[in-house]
Amino acid sequence: MADMDEEMSEDTLPLQQDLTCPVCQGVFQDPMLLPCTHSFCRECLAKSSRFSSKCPVCRVEFREGSAIPNRALNDASVTFLKQPNRRVPPSRAIEEETCCNLHLKPLELYCEKDEGPVCVDCVALHNTHRLWPLKEGTNICKKELGYKVQIFEKKVESYKNMTKKFSNAVEYIKYQAGEAEKTIKAEFEKLHKVLYDEETKRLNDLSTEERDKINSIQRMSDDVQKDIESLKELIDSLKKEMGNEDLPLLRNFQNIKRKAQWTEPEPSFLFDSLLNMGKHVGALRYNIWKEMKAHVKYYPVVLDPNSASPWLSLNADLTTVKESSERLTVPENLERFDPCVFVLGAEGYSSGKYKWDVIVGDNPKWILGVCKETVTRKKKFTLSTSRGVWAIGLSKGVYTAFTAPDRTELTVQQCPEKIRVKLNIEKGEVSFWDGGREKHLVTLSHKFEEMLYPIFGPGLHTTPMILAPGKMAVHTS
């Protein structure tokens, strides 16, 4: 019985070949017949027609809608699929792996365009393609895969390097946290000392007033006590005179009456005898805060160290920037400028009016202004308003506004040591002033539509660029 099944399976192979779609290499499913007499599955023909109006086998053009259902071929395919003995023997399955499904001939060639093996009878179907012997085709594929391997190996190394950078970033964050903790503790220690000194001063003032007021009351009390003794002596004297005989008492009455006088004022509290409680504890927190104003500085802008070029060094409170003596080891985060030597302000602005002063001193080269948040950071670029930077600068003794398409040279009578930047987003203006002499330098106009950040370029010089503290005022109502 097994031999009969094998024989029947062998007999079905030519029929299976005749019922095989040249495109999907499977038994026809709802076959369609072209005018050139070649048939294909309906779905295979539809997919092929998307890319070309030529027959996939003979490459003869056909018009859309010219294909008709091949009913006879469809019936034969359905009948074939229903046969219970249409299995392929193992030996034949192995043979088919090395043979063309369409022509049942050995796969001896490699099509470079279709990237697959073909038989000699397939050459007509690939007449415009480049064909290679299997061995050379294998070498071509191995070479291409080798390139892939090299690319992936480089990616592995790149990913490994990135993990190292991530690890270094973790250590850097720990370093940042440590530095921030030191600064916070130092600032609070200063504030604690200010508060302690203020507390000590106020307690001393309270103690001094308490002592003075008590001493004053005590002196008044002592004076009253002396008056009491004097009054007692006067009373005793009068009682003694009142004990005399009638005639001597009457003869001496006027003299006794003259002596029986008391001209001292009635004892009472003096004005402001008690402690001034309003002075010591009235609005205590507000008064302390007002006194602390002298020990606190306000900066309209502070620097963002995460945006600073590795060649820039910032101080602990982020108000001073200058050239670093060596390139700092910092993460390559997206916010950081590199290779351009810039740093941004820590806060961005999308509306409102702002003003800040920068002390440039005798620095021979610097850049100051504002830029949009999406300004280029990881490659060199030309500063201009068209690049999203509205700034002025000093270089080789010339003051320049970075306008587009050409820069504008500024006329400056005296070299300013302090530059004032004024930003009015609603008005669309950023203006620059000599902050020391209150002289206007230039105004740049633009319709600002992105978040803007202050930008600072101190140049590669040891002279620091310093943010000047702003003025503080206490307003009450």
Looking at residue 45, which CATH number applies to its domain?
Answer: 3.30.40.10
Question: How many independent structural domains does the chain possess?
Answer: 3
What is the tens place of the pLDDT at every residue in 283-333? 999 888 888 888 888 999 999 999 999 999 999 999 999 999 899 999 999
Q: Does residue 397 lie within any of the structural domains?
A: yes
Which CATH number is 401's domain given? 2.60.120.920
Domain termination site, one of 97, 116, 145: 97
Predicted local distance difference test score (pLDDT) of residue 59:
77
Predicted local distance difference test score (pLDDT) of residue 6:
44
Residues 42 and 187 in one domain: no
* CA–CA gap between residue 309 and residue 331 (Å, rounded): 11
Predicted local distance difference test score (pLDDT) of residue 85:
59
Residues 342 and 439 in one domain: yes
* CA–CA gap between residue 167 and residue 181 (Å, rounded): 21
What is the tens place of the pLDDT at every residue in 320-340? 999 998 999 999 999 999 999
Q: Decide: residue 417, CB within 10 A, 0-12 exposed, 13-18 middle, 19+ buried.
A: middle
* CA–CA gap between residue 373 and residue 344 (Å, rounded): 10
* Residue 461 pLDDT exceeds 90: no
- The one-letter code for the residue type at 439 is K
Tokens of 439: 């002289």
- From residue 174, give the alpha-carbon distance in Å to each of 41, 78, 219, 318: 66, 72, 66, 18
* CA–CA gap between residue 114 and residue 424 (Å, rounded): 63
- Are 35 and 66 spatial neighbours (Cβ–Cβ below 8 Å)? yes
Residues 273 and 407 in one domain: no
Q: What average pLDDT is seen over the chain?
A: 89
Q: Which domain holds residue 431?
A: 305-467
Residues 316 and 289 in one domain: no
Indicate the SS3 state at residue 413: coil
Predicted local distance difference test score (pLDDT) of residue 86:
57
What is the tens place of the pLDDT at every residue in 354-404? 999 999 998 999 999 999 999 999 999 999 999 999 999 999 999 999 999
Q: Does residue 152 lie within any of the structural domains?
A: yes
Q: Does residue 122 lie within any of the structural domains?
A: no
* Residue 443 pLDDT exceeds 60: yes
* Residue 442 pLDDT exceeds 90: yes
Residues 290 and 410 in one domain: no
**Which residues are paired to 209 by β-bridges?**
none
- The residue whose two tokens read 């539509």 is 449
Q: Does residue 448 lie within any of the structural domains?
A: yes
Residues 312 and 460 in one domain: yes
DSSP string, 201-245: HHHHHHHHHHHHHHHHHHHHHHHHHHHHHHHHHHHHHHHHHHTS-
Predicted local distance difference test score (pLDDT) of residue 11:
53
Residues 240 and 341 in one domain: no
Residues 165 and 223 in one domain: yes
User: Maximum CA pair distance of the chain?
Assistant: 180
User: Around 248, how many Cα atoms within 13 Å sit in the side-chain half-sphere?
Assistant: 6
Residues 342 and 255 in one domain: no
Looking only at the bridges linking them, the beta strands covering 131-133 and 31-33 are: unpaired
- Are 339 and 380 spatial neighbours (Cβ–Cβ below 8 Å)? yes
Residues 267 and 163 in one domain: yes
Domain termination site, one of 73, 97, 121: 97
- The residue whose two tokens read 């060639």 is 109
Predicted local distance difference test score (pLDDT) of residue 8:
41
Q: pLDDT band for position 54 (50/70/90)?
A: confident
Indicate the SS3 state at residue 131: strand
* CA–CA gap between residue 460 and residue 342 (Å, rounded): 10
Residues 149 and 234 in one domain: yes
Q: Does residue 76 lie within any of the structural domains?
A: yes
Q: Does residue 40 lie within any of the structural domains?
A: yes
Q: pLDDT band for position 7 (50/70/90)?
A: very low
Domain termination site, one of 295, 316, 347: 295
Residues 198 and 268 in one domain: yes
Q: Does pTM surpass 0.85? A: no
* Residue 14 pLDDT exceeds 50: yes
Predicted local distance difference test score (pLDDT) of residue 97:
62
Q: pLDDT band for position 12 (50/70/90)?
A: low
Looking only at the bridges linking them, the beta strands covering 116-118 and 429-434 are: unpaired
Q: Does residue 117 lie within any of the structural domains?
A: no
DSSP summary character for residue 61: B
Q: Does residue 132 lie within any of the structural domains?
A: no
What is the tens place of the pLDDT at every residue in 195-251? 999 999 999 999 999 999 999 999 999 999 999 999 999 999 999 988 888 888 888
